[in-house]
Amino acid sequence: MANTQDIRRRIKSIRNTAQITKAMQMVAASKMRKAQQHALAGRPYAALMNKVLVSLQKRTDPKFHPLLAVRPLQKELVLIISTDKGLCGALNTNLFREATKFDSAKTAFVVTGKKARQFIARTKRELLADFELKDDPTFVEAKPISKFCMEKFLRHEVDKVSVLYTHFINTINQRSVVQTLLPISSFDLPKKEAGEAESESVDPMIGYVFEPNAEVVLDSMLPYYVSYQVFQMILDARASEHSARMVAMKNATDNANQFIKDLTLEYNKMRQASITTELLEIATAQMALGG
């Protein structure tokens, strides 16, 4: 049975741990707010880009563009967007659980994040490239990733490119998502933009003229669209990471504080029992002397 000295030592150790997790929680909360703002700010722009591409699809024959070419699947390239650090709950675990569903014989991987690199090495899967990004990446820094994927697809080295990342829903909820990047199948308008089913066939950019023509604009926009899609997924993954880490560190801090309360109660009970025993011994001795 632990004595009071052991309990005091454990309380001190847990209190030090709680201070660390509290500090990490505050840092993650600060980064989380900024990352969430960046992730959410880009979504209206992506929706507007989709409207333009829907209009271009209706004015051109997009099947002749190489980024839209659908081929029999012989080899697939999967881009995994993970974190560099741990302590973010089950975020990476859920991500890699989805990665194990891909056939390793027909799949090659591109990763960003140390955790994904370690997972690929541990599971002995084919790794084509490993990209490093800062904690707050810019579009220019993320563009080489999409460029590498597009080159592999255009050279017919792979027939499909998918992205595995964590989609940001809110601070509490994040979901691992596999999204097809190439070939680009279709551009969907958001429901609030599309309206009723009968209005979905209407050109959303009626009254606009594309110069020099719709085909040239489509050829220019598709590579940019792919790059922006990857960048938006990276922003989502960053917002998910900081949100998950903040929640995990808050839970760790709360659990540590509860553990300290339980140990303090146990410590006080042991002290009270020790004091009661001493008083009984003193009273017994006095009675023996008096007798």
Which residues are catalytically annotated?
88
Q: What are residue 176's DSSP bridge partners?
A: 166
Q: Please state, in angstroms and rounded to a whole number, the distance separating the CA atoms of residues 37 and 171.
A: 12
Residue among 180, 160, 187 at smallest CA distance from 69: 160
- Residue 22 has phi, psi (to 5 degrees) of -65, -45
Q: Are strands 174-182 and 107-112 parallel, antiparallel or unpaired?
A: unpaired
Longest dimension (CA), the chain: 116
Q: Please state, in angstroms and rounded to a whole number, the distance separating the CA atoms of residues 275 and 138.
A: 64
Q: Please state, in angstroms and rounded to a whole number, the distance separating the CA atoms of residues 263 and 130.
A: 46
Residue among 142, 187, 195 at smallest CA distance from 165: 142
Measured between alpha carbons, how far is residue 135 from residues 66, 153, 161, 163, 219 in Å?
A: 33, 28, 24, 19, 32
Q: Please state, in angstroms and rounded to a whole number, the distance separating the CA atoms of residues 269 and 275.
A: 10
